[in-house]
Amino acid sequence: MDNSKNNPGKVVGNANLPIGGQPNAIQENGAPGWHSRGYLPHFESSEVTQHVTFHLADSLPQTVLLRLEAELKTLPAEKRDVERRKRVDAWIDAGHGSCVLRKPGIADMVQGSLLAFDSERYRLLAWVVMPNHVHVLFQPINGWTVAKIVASWKKFTARKICDDRRDSGEAPCAPVWHREYWDRYIRDQRHLEQAVEYIHLNPVKAGFAATPESWRWSSAYFGNANLPIGGWQNAIQENGAPGRKP
């Protein structure tokens, strides 16, 4: 998801266009290029950091998406991506849906799943677990793609959430996560800093925390300051890939 909420006048919707000169992209089958499973295009690359957002299925119903797309048709094509992301951001941040991630035990579990394979499947730079969605800033490594990484997070956490619902005597578990996710690759140092700031400020802007450091399920939380991911924060090489500071 982009930083258009922080910079509403900045047009960044062309960052994901499949133009020449972009970092090498890797589809799920290993071939360079872009891929899509229907609603959103996704950019795969082992050379860039990615800002990914995924959300609970009931936080953005299909009826809302259809209405949103109908409204966006009145805008010029080149402005639709930016406006779509802004409106989706606003809708999700409003706290729609079951917001099961607000349960401390569930939020702890989701945060733990993000940390589990850091430095094995990806390099984790920043994250936040919100009541109905998750932001993660990371770089895939060791042949892993964004699609496979996000799928593994969703599969593991969905199973745990369903187990929790069953143990609580709730109704049979419906799909937990929306099938799609939002991704934006990081272009340079400034974009990296903006993404980190956006992620860390999300709980504050949504009214859940007074400061980024007070939100327990975030890389900004003071209790997470000494995690191994700290060496990767705010570090980026000239080619756009994160590099550990000396």
CATH assignment at residue 37: 3.30.70.1290
Q: What's the structural domain count of the chain?
A: 1
DSSP 72-83: HTTS-HHHHHHH
| Domain enclosing residue 215, as ranges | 13-232
Q: Is 143 part of any domain?
A: yes
Side chain identity at residue 126, one-letter code: A
| Cα separation, 32 vs 234, whole angstroms | 28
37-65: pLDDT as tens digits: 444 444 555 567 899 999 999 887 778 77
Q: Is 107 part of any domain?
A: yes
CA distances from 39 to 13, 17, 179 (A): 16, 15, 10
203-244: pLDDT as tens digits: 999 999 999 999 999 999 988 866 765 434 433 433 344 443
Q: Is 245 part of any domain?
A: no
Q: Is the model's pTM score more than 0.85? A: no
Q: Is 241 part of any domain?
A: no
Q: Is 177 part of any domain?
A: yes
Q: Is 5 part of any domain?
A: no
Q: Is 157 part of any domain?
A: yes
Q: Is 155 part of any domain?
A: yes
Kindly state the average pLDDT of the residues 76-81. Answer: 83
Which residues are paired to 140 by β-bridges? 122
92-131: pLDDT as tens digits: 777 777 899 999 999 999 999 999 999 999 999 999 999 9
Instruction: Give all strands (DSSP E) within the chain, no chain letters.
Output: 34-36, 41-43, 50-55, 122-129, 133-140, 182-185
Residue 122 has phi, psi (to 5 degrees) of -160, 165
| Cα separation, 123 vs 125, whole angstroms | 6
